[in-house]
Structure 1
Amino acid sequence: MTTAKRVMGKWLGIACAAMIVFTMGSAKAADALVNVEWVKANSTKAGVVTVDARGKADYLRGHIPGAVNTDYAKDGWRVSKDGVPGVFPDDTTKLAALIGGLGIDNSTHVVLVAPGANSSDMGTATRMYWTFKVLGHDNVSILNGGMNAYLGAKDKDGNPTNPLEKGAAKVTAKTFNVALRKDMIPSTADVKAALDKGTVMVDNRTADQYMGVNRHGKSKANGTIPGATNLPQSWMTENGGGMFRSKDTIAQLYQAAGVPTSGEQISFCNTGHWASIGWFASSEILGNKDAKMYDASMTGWTAANMPTEAKIKVK
């Protein structure tokens, strides 16, 4: 073999190895949204765990074949800390055990299923999706439209035509290891520093809360973070329902609200639920990886006595 051929063979080997590594790496990040047909075809496949995040009673009455259940509101996905409700836990041990107990390990493709009756319902899935990303798990998707979309196909008698299982699925617990992405969880001090340097602040709450007319029960002041732009989370779904709008439509809505679709920005709401919908739209649908979510949001901001801005003063 000539020297030229040996060199060429060497470089071809390196190129093939690089291609294999690239392919394996890219496979770890799943599509952010999947549809009902995809779920029907894949929910019982090895390596896929469908997580039904409805209440236990609804789950037991009928769920997607193979789906496991977790109660988003009660099982420990979020905790209270220093009077601020619904934040990401400082100690992820219990959260990792909860996830492993659902039969999920670090190679699992997780598919999250929210109730899907409205946009706020979809926040159940987007908040859990954000949590998986924070924990270092990219192989996660959301069923667009949630369980409401899955149950939407009915026969002439009004019965669902998509297959359902009743009762609890049998689960073999696995080990889920955390690779925490601390940069995805900006603290109140981080948000204040970002505000001071001119980072775009996006308030995903309703207009009345943004304007200062009403406020969350745990918030200590009316109004919003000074200079924030209002982009209600309900805009992200079709008619405020469970189906996310297309990328192009969401981009148009961002433009109408005066929110850029690229560059550093921080989404917030009251407790990091609605804000997860805004973050999901920015980061996962529009592809702006400079977008972040402020977990503690206005309850944490006002608890720290940070400055607020109210457009309307209500006595």
Structure 2
Amino acid sequence: MTLNPLVSVKWLAKNLDIPNLVILDASTQKNASKLVPKYLGVQIKGARIFDMESTFFDEENPIPNMMPNPKVFETECQKLGIHSNSIIVIYDNLGVYTSPRARWMFKAMGHQYVTVLNGGLTAWKEAGYACEEKKEKTYKLGDFKALHQPNLVRDSKFILNNLQNKEVLVVDARSNDRFLGESPEPRAGMASGHIPNAISFPYKQVLEEGKMKSKNDLLQLIEDLKVDNKELVFTCGSGVTACIILLAFELVNDNQKSLYDGSWSEWGQLGKFPVEVG
């Protein structure tokens, strides 16, 4: 089957009987944007908790929100009863916020059948579809296999080596004032500014009331950037909101795309990497 990167709550409600369907709740307890969920303590009926904060991020790495080791990812997915042929729908309780990051993690681990629920838990609940109390459950082990795709996640060495490469473009999802260095970084001890030659594309401009904007609106926003055929590397503060704009680009743009996992949490360390202001 063909699975779009983004599906509506109506689509999910109509397809709950798809064989091998797995619904994952990728909500987090906190977020850098200080957004507050409208609904707490509930989940879509039958959803499984995809705990990025304590399970699917690399807790041993001092840089926040880093991708885990593929073997760890594989093992934890198996514990959730996920199979190699599972069709995965991911949502979160902030509309479209952490779910695109969770989806890209699956893509980077070689799983193709994974999509984001547009509007997330809020849209689902307000459409009148079934929810239940959120709680941990145990599942029969799945046979998920992680097939790591290193070209989908870039590191600081790649960014440093391609600063002057006009065929590679870094797209920054942080607010424009942070990009320009006009506002202090929320994390202590971090430089203000951006990666040299990067462009600013704040994630909030692709969203409207917690949902991704229409393809026509996204196309207009992205066409204005004139990205040509460049490889696009997406970055933000810690690799989460970068995946929101990465998803937006996926919907309307065929360029090669990857995530800079360390993002500004790594690059912005004082005196470590070159920084531009303004």
Q: CA deviation at 1:59?
A: 9.2
Q: TM-score, normalised by structure 2?
A: 0.87
Q: Partner of 2:173 in structure 1? A: 204
Q: Partner of 2:34 in structure 1? A: none
1:91-117 per-residue CA deviation (whole Å, 9 max, x = no partner) reads 222221111111111100010011134
Q: Partner of 1:187 in structure 2? A: 155
1:62-105 per-residue CA deviation (whole Å, 9 max, x = no partner) reads 33222112233222334452x3211112x222221111111111
Q: Partner of 2:142 in structure 1? A: 174
Aligned counterparts of 2:70 and 2:64: Cα–Cα separation in 1: 17
Task: Note if 1:35 corresponds to 2:15.
Answer: no
Task: Note if 1:163 corresponds to 2:130.
Answer: yes
Aligned counterparts of 1:101 and 1:145: Cα–Cα separation in 2: 27
Q: Partner of 1:150 in structure 2? A: 124
The equivalences for 1:226-245 within 5 A come to 226-238=196-208, 241-245=209-213
Asked which structure has the greater CA Rg, the reply is: 1
Task: Note if 1:109 corresponds to 2:116.
Answer: no
Q: CA deviation at 1:178?
A: 1.0
Q: CA deviation at 1:259?
A: 4.7
1:237-282 per-residue CA deviation (whole Å, 9 max, x = no partner) reads 11xx3211122211211234x3526431211111111111121112
Q: Partner of 1:8 in structure 2? A: none
Match of 2:146, as an amino acid? V
Q: Taking structure 1 as reference, are residues 95 and 142 closer, same or farther at Cα in structure 2, changes over 3 Å only?
A: same
Q: Taking structure 1 as reference, are residues 296 and 124 closer, same or farther at Cα in structure 2, changes over 3 Å only?
A: same
Q: CA deviation at 1:302?
A: 2.9
Task: Note if 1:293 corresponds to 2:259.
Answer: yes
Structure number with the higher strand fraction is: 2
Aligned counterparts of 2:106 and 2:188: Cα–Cα separation in 1: 26
Structure number with the higher helix fraction is: 1
Q: TM-score, normalised by structure 1?
A: 0.77
Task: Note if 1:48 corresponds to 2:18.
Answer: no
Q: Partner of 2:76 in structure 1? A: 98
RMSD: 2.3
SS in 1 for 2:57: coil
Match of 2:199, as an amino acid? T
Q: Taking structure 1 as reference, are residues 276 and 179 closer, same or farther at Cα in structure 2, changes over 3 Å only?
A: same
Q: Partner of 1:6 in structure 2? A: none
Pick from 247, 263, 270 the counterpart of residue 215 of structure 2: 247
Unaligned runs of at least 5 residues, structure 2: 30-37
Aligned counterparts of 2:134 and 2:152: Cα–Cα separation in 1: 36
1:142-185 per-residue CA deviation (whole Å, 9 max, x = no partner) reads 110000100113xxxxxxx3222336456322121111101112
Q: CA deviation at 1:216?
A: 3.5
Q: Which has the higher contact order (CA 8 A, sep 6+)?
A: 2
**Structure 1 residue runs of 4 or more that deviate by more than 4 Å after TM superposition:** 58-61, 167-170
Aligned counterparts of 1:73 and 1:226: Cα–Cα separation in 2: 30
- Contact 1:60 1:166 survives alignment (8 Å): no
Q: Taking structure 1 as reference, are residues 68 and 261 closer, same or farther at Cα in structure 2, changes over 3 Å only?
A: farther
Match of 1:195, as an amino acid? L
Q: Partner of 1:12 in structure 2? A: none
